[in-house]
Amino acid sequence: MSAKEYLANIRRYNNQVSMLKQRKLSIVETLTNIAPNYDSMPRSATRNVHKMEELICAKIDLDNEIAELTLAVELIMKTISSLPKADHCELLAERYANNQSWRSIAKILNLSESRVFHLHREALDELARQIKRDRKTVVNSS
């Protein structure tokens, strides 16, 4: 996996988390409508316990999947932040985690766009080396 593919996972995971959160919200709303209500006005004429159990399990599964994806993004961000040069870290975070344009990144870093492209290549090369070192560490510690 290349450094760019590795970084593309941030967007993919964040998109998946957004989708899962929407699904979870829908489940929570459904649960609210079928849950027993003890005030004067019942929410549902029939109480389907099996449906409620299925929805609660689905919500728990979604929570676990969201947590796993969030952890994966945090690990990628930790790898980015472990790069030795701060401008590499900031550039990669802005581009891949915050979805900033090249022009915006150039303004943030107070650099020309061509310099940002050059730094991006350097940062990707450094990230590739970092990923390789991390893999060797994991293999050697096993």
Which of 57, 81, 105 terminates a domain? The answer is 81
Q: Token match 């510690």: residue?
A: 141
Statement to judge: residues 26 and 75 lie in one domain: yes
**Could you tell me if 92 and 70 lie in one domain?**
no
Q: What is the pLDDT of residues 90-109, one digit of tens each?
A: 999 999 999 999 999 999 99
Based on the structure, what is the number of domains in the chain?
2
Which domain, by its residues, includes 24? Answer: 1-81
Mean pLDDT over 130-137 rounds to: 85
Regarding whether 88 and 57 lie in a shared domain, the answer is no
Give the C-alpha distances (Å, rounded to integers) separating 25 from 29, 35, 40, 123: 6, 15, 26, 38
40 and 108 part of one domain: no
Q: What is the CATH number for 98? A: 1.10.10
**8 and 64 fall within a common domain:** yes
Tokens 């941030």, residue located:
10
Instruction: Tell me what pLDDT residue 90 has.
Output: 97
Residue 121 pLDDT greater than 70, yes or no:
yes
DSSP state of 54: H
Average predicted confidence (pLDDT) for the chain = 90
Same domain, 21 and 65: yes
Would the pLDDT of 132 be above 80?
A: yes
Same domain, 132 and 96: yes
How confident is the model over 32-82, as pLDDT tens digits?
887 665 666 555 555 556 788 899 999 999 999 999 999 999 999 999 999
Q: Are residues 68 and 37 in the same domain?
A: yes
- The amino acid occupying position 9 is N
pLDDT tens profile 6-37 = 999 999 999 999 999 999 999 999 888 876 65
Would the pTM count as exceeding 0.85? Answer: no
Task: Assess whether pLDDT exceeds 90 at residue 1.
Answer: no
**% of the chain residues with pLDDT over 90:** 75
Same domain? For 48 and 116 the reply is no
- Kindly report the CA angle at 114 between 107 and 84, in degrees rounded to 5? 75
Percent pLDDT > 70 in the chain is: 87
Query: Helix crossing, 113-141 with 3-34: angle to 10°?
Result: 80
Q: Mark whether 136 and 91 lie in a shared domain.
A: yes
